[in-house]
A = this chain, B = another copy of it.
């Protein structure tokens, strides 16, 4: 029979991940020392190493945990079986909310995954690709001609660009908040989608998603 962990073990792990994500996001992964992480958590460094094998393990848990939650959101929305436009609008709304609640993890995902061993990078990238595919699928239902031209992923990535970039410039202390931005992004995207022209023989096989 498996021995039980101390009761606070998982809570402590989550607390460490949250503090590490904040430090990595603000100062960068390489420039953040394990000692800084430990101090921010009120722990000694050996205690920190009790919860995580090494520095990379922190980064993997932060980035992969975030992207798996995103994949879960996509699955939930798809399961609701909404028409393509409502589905995509709901995806935008939920992603903006999720990003707002996990800004540090999101920044780590987009900026620090390159520091991981290739196997970890690849696994996270594959999950990102599945997320993008969920968005691209809806784009293809709205513009089947883009689907045939293999441009739906490009459009999905332009949409991700608007959303992801938002978290580099919007400081929602003012009157404009994330809740205002989601419909703005959706209106801009759905308004503009019919205006996008086909380009000569495009293929998107060589894109790196998210």
Q: Is the interface of A mostly helix, strand, loop or mixed?
A: helix
**Cβ of A174 and Cβ of B114 under 8 Å apart?**
no
Bits for A181-210, please: 1 = Cβ < 8 Å to B, else 0.
101110111111111110111111111111
**Cβ of A194 and Cβ of B191 under 8 Å apart?**
yes
A190-B185 contact in complex given A160-B165, A202-B175, C-beta closer than 8 Å: no
Q: In whole angstroms, how far apart are the Cα atoms of A194 and B190 in the complex?
A: 11
> Does A9 have its Cβ within 8 Å of any Cβ on chain B?
no
> Does A176 have its Cβ within 8 Å of any Cβ on chain B?
yes
> Does A81 have its Cβ within 8 Å of any Cβ on chain B?
no
| Protomer copies | 2
Indicate the member of A184, A187, A194, A196 with the most B CB atoms within 10 Å: A184
Option from B26, B30, B155, B199 in Cβ contact (under 8 Å) with A31: B30
**Cβ of B203 and Cβ of A176 under 8 Å apart?**
yes
A204-B176 contact in complex given A154-B181, A181-B154, C-beta closer than 8 Å: yes
A191-B196 contact in complex given A157-B169, A169-B207, A205-B174, C-beta closer than 8 Å: yes
**Cβ of A158 and Cβ of B185 under 8 Å apart?**
yes
**A163 neighbours in B (Cβ, 8 Å):** 161
**Cβ of B196 and Cβ of A187 under 8 Å apart?**
yes
Binding site for B on A (CB under 8 A): 26-31, 110-111, 114-115, 151, 154-155, 157-158, 160-166, 168-171, 173-176, 180-181, 183-185, 187-197, 199-210
Q: Can you list 28 A-B pairs, Cβ within 8 angstroms, ordered by A?
A: A28-B28, A28-B114, A151-B184, A154-B181, A154-B184, A157-B165, A157-B166, A158-B162, A161-B162, A162-B162, A164-B165, A169-B209, A171-B207, A171-B208, A173-B206, A174-B205, A176-B199, A183-B197, A187-B192, A187-B195, A188-B188, A188-B189, A188-B192, A188-B195, A189-B192, A190-B195, A191-B191, A192-B193
